[in-house]
Amino acid sequence: MLPNRLLTCLLSAALIAGCASERSLSSADDPLDSTHVAVARGDGNFKEAVIKDQVHASQDDPLDDAIAPELKAQARTARSKLNTANIEQPATLADNAFENGTKTENTDLWQRLRDGFALDHEVDQPRLEQQLAWFASHPRYIERVMERGGRYFHYIVSETERRGLPTELALLPIVESAFDPFAYSHGRAAGLWQFVPATGKYFGLTQSWWHDDRRDVIAATDAALTYLERLSKRFDGDFTLALAAYNSGGGTVSSAIRRNQNADKPTDFWSLKLPRETRHYVPKLLALAKIFADPQAYGIDLPALANEPYFAVVETGSQLDLAKAAELAATDIDEMYLLNPSFNRWATNPDGPHRLLVPVASAERFRKALKTYPVNQRVSWQNYRVRSGDSLSTIAQRFETTAPVIRKLNKLNGDTIRIGQRLMIPSATGDSETYALSAAQRLEQKQSRPRDGDKVSYHVRSGDTFWDIAREHRVKVRELAAWNSMAPGDPLIPGKKLVIWSQNAETTVASSGSSASARIKALVRKIGYSVRKGDSLAAIAGRFSVNISDIAGWNDLNTEHYLQPGQSLVLYVDIRNSP
């Protein structure tokens, strides 16, 4: 059986993650050899919202904690537009639109998509029929997910064509993220294509205080298609195996193939024993393609999508405030952020690339406005005089930036500053409402939304973990993270305020000095456990009075895989309940 992530980390020289999952590899290995199953955001929440006829699907889904608080609020506002707006199709293909070298006579993007289909949708498999039946019985899902994807779909189809790839791959963001550019999973996967940090880095997707390329529409699409191309070559052009590997890792699929070869069994995707998520992942994409190939056969009307670019790429030449960019382009900031979801702050990355995506109709106006707009006014600066008691960290906190940014911009060699020294601090041209649309009110509204339990404000202390806090308040780790727009793997910064809907009747107020927290933390111990013959996750969970999901989370385990004797686990147990 495959080793778990904890054991692999002890043996590996480095950690490289596969798409949508932290995947353990040695420094000499390629993500194509990954053996960990993907944990993408997926479309589960979106499906549920469609079934319940909820308009604002995924508006409260977690966001990457690297995004500044004011832009988190903006992302939620943009998401509501993503979920409700009908895409305005460009009337004509403007000369300044994004060009990819592909020309077609089709005026209908759907027909162009069908013309590039190359996978077998007619395979007779129950798993495919199951997915097909769900989509056919929920036609509203197709309509709404393509409302979301309309901004990006022409570009993605064009890129698959340019590379000579099956255009079914253009539908993969539906499966990965339901076309939510802000999608963020508990496995720290981000963006339309759900890359985790390490795999993103391997494919050139950089992250900084200012931005995250995993959410960049152009950069992430390029990385995902490159990844899929390499996987297809690994499996001799079989894209069902390549897709399975995108989800569960090339090493997982290769191991399954070897097992079947040794047992003299077929080695096609449908014959392999793969993780449960992967077994449904490929059929889901094929079912979508089958519906898009002949929507009338399933009683589905596809929304109109013109075969023309929705956005154009405009070179800005330098860093630019996003609110100012929206003003110059005469478009609203929601639209600017939906097309440029990679930015963590109020401005573009000072290190580039210096480009923004804008609606085609706004591109020429934006270019002309940029030519006459002074470079020194594109970002505002505060000329700050250092005072007694200041440090780079306190100054950074005051101006909502970071010490490394101040060091870099002022060419400082270290953290030493002197009273009276002048520092240039970047700042937004507008107030927080310009970017966040009343961020404080929006946050208050979200935190005040009635839920089960008692609302508690908690200030993070040094040494706190999501598990400690969740256990104290008798809630799930993932719930606690989601209420605060975080993922369970995100770091908890001392002093950060969390909102908790506590199920612990004894706890009514929690703070940095919470005696309840101190009392419970004092009774919890981190222990190492070596798996014995006959052990299972259920048996270990019962022995130590913890949840199976907690054990899986602490050790990044796939509950579909068996434990191996001698395997090392980390457990956090309450000594009052331990054996």
Residue 59 maps to a domain: no
Confidence of residue 474 (pLDDT cuts 50, 70, 90): confident
In a domain, 57, yes or no: no
- For residues 472 and 504, the answer to whether their CB atoms sit within 8 Å is yes
pLDDT at 509 over 50: no
Angle at 375 between CA 374 and CA 377, to 5 degrees: 70
127 with 197, same domain?
yes
Mean pLDDT computed over every residue of the chain: 80
Give the DSSP letter string of 469-531.
HHHHHT--HHHHHHHTT--TTSPPPTT-EEEEEE--TT-S---TT-HHHHHHHHTEEEEEEEP
What does the pLDDT read at residue 23?
36
User: pLDDT at residue 573 above 70?
Assistant: yes
Establish if 89 belongs to a structural domain. Answer: no
- Same domain? For 121 and 234 the reply is yes
pLDDT tens for each residue of 233-254: 999 999 999 999 999 889 999 9
Q: Which residue has the higher pLDDT, 96 or 355?
A: 355
Q: Please state whether 203 falls in left (phi above 0), alpha (psi between -120 and 50) or beta.
A: alpha
Question: Following DSSP, what letter does each residue of 91-151 receive, concatenated?
Answer: SS--TTS---S-----SBHHHHHHHT--S------HHHHHHHHHHHH-HHHHHHHHHHHHH
Q: What average pLDDT score do residues 489-509 get?
A: 74
In whole angstroms, what is the distance from residue 141 CA to residue 153 CA? 16
Residue 480 has pLDDT above 50, yes or no: yes
Q: What separation in angstroms does the CA of 528 have from each of 429, 464, 523, 525, 568? A: 52, 19, 16, 10, 7
Task: Give percent above pLDDT 70 in the chain.
Answer: 74
What pLDDT digit, counting tens, does each position of 343-359 carry? 988 889 888 899 999 99
Q: With respect to residue 60, please indicate whether it lies within any of the assigned structural domains.
A: no
What share of the chain in percent tops pLDDT 90? 40
Domain end residue (candidates: 377, 410, 435): 377
For residue 541, what pLDDT is reported?
82
What pLDDT, in 10s, does the model give residues 294-337? 999 998 988 888 899 999 999 999 999 998 999 999 998 889 99
In a domain, 396, yes or no: yes
Q: Would you state the pLDDT for residue 513?
A: 42
Find, among 67, 188, 61, 65, the residue nearest to 436 by Cα. Answer: 67
Domain count, the chain: 5
pLDDT at 512: 39
Packing angle, helices 239-248 and 217-234, rounded to 10: 120
Cα gap 86→126, rounded to integer Å: 35
| pLDDT of 373 higher than 60 | yes
Tell me: do 287 and 207 sit in the same domain.
yes
Domain annotation covers residue 21: no
Mean pLDDT along residues 381-385: 87
Do 227 and 282 reside in the same domain of the chain?
yes
Q: What are phi and psi of 356, to 5 degrees?
A: -135, 145
- Pair (266, 403) in one structural domain: no
Please enumerate, as own/partner, the contacts of 235-243 that have beta carbons within 8 Å and a separation of 24 or more.
238/268, 238/269, 239/118, 239/119, 239/166, 239/168, 239/169, 240/119, 240/268, 240/269, 240/270, 240/282, 240/286, 241/268, 241/269, 243/172, 243/281, 243/282, 243/285
Paired tokens of 373? 């707009």
Q: Give the amino acid at 66.
A: A
Residue 21 pLDDT more than 50? no
Let me know if residue 509 belongs to a domain: no
In a shared domain, residues 288 and 333? no
Cis peptide before 359 (omega within 30 of 0): no
**pLDDT per residue as tens digits for the range 121-180:** 999 999 999 999 999 999 989 988 998 899 999 999 999 999 999 999 999 999 999 999
pLDDT band, very low/low/confident/very high, at 384 (cuts 50, 70, 90)? very high
pLDDT digits (tens, 9 = 90+) for 435-462: 543 333 344 555 566 677 788 888 888 7
The yes-or-no verdict on residue 13 having pLDDT over 50 is no
Output the pTM of the full model.
Answer: 0.68
42: left (phi over 0), alpha (psi -120 to 50) or beta: left
In this prediction, residue 98 carries a pLDDT of 43
pLDDT at 426: 79
Q: Which of 298, 324, 340 is the last residue of a domain?
A: 298
Residues 212-236 as b/e (b if ≥16 CB within 10 A, e otherwise) read bbbbbbbbbbbbbbebbebbbebbe
Q: Are residues 453 and 487 in the same domain?
A: yes
Tokens, residue 56 = 């604002």
Tokens at 329, concatenated:
């382009």
Statement to judge: residues 208 and 340 lie in one domain: no
Which of 71-85, 86-100, 166-180, 470-484 shows the lowest mean pLDDT across its residues?
86-100
Q: Both 164 and 235 in a single domain?
A: yes
Domain boundary among 298, 326, 358: 298
What's the average model confidence in pLDDT over 191-218?
A: 92
Read off the CATH number of the domain in which 566 is found: 3.10.350.10
Could you give the residue numbers annotated as active site? 176
pLDDT of 433 > 70? The answer is no
Q: Which residues contact 525 (CB under 8 A, 6 or more apart)?
A: 572, 573, 575, 578
Averaged over 425-438, what is the pLDDT?
58
User: Is residue 13 a part of any domain in this protein?
Assistant: no
Do 281 and 327 lie in one domain? The reply is no
What are the CA-CA distances from residue 280 to residues 41, 248, 289 (Å)?
Answer: 15, 12, 14
DSSP state for residue 185 in the 8-state scheme: -
Which residue, among 16, 64, 44, 28, has the nearest Cα to 249 in the 3D structure? 16
Same structural domain, 373 and 385: no
Domain of residue 480: give its range.
449-502
User: What pLDDT is stored for residue 84 in this prediction?
Assistant: 55
**Do 371 and 355 have their domain in common?**
yes
As a whole number, mean pLDDT of residues 388-393 equals 91
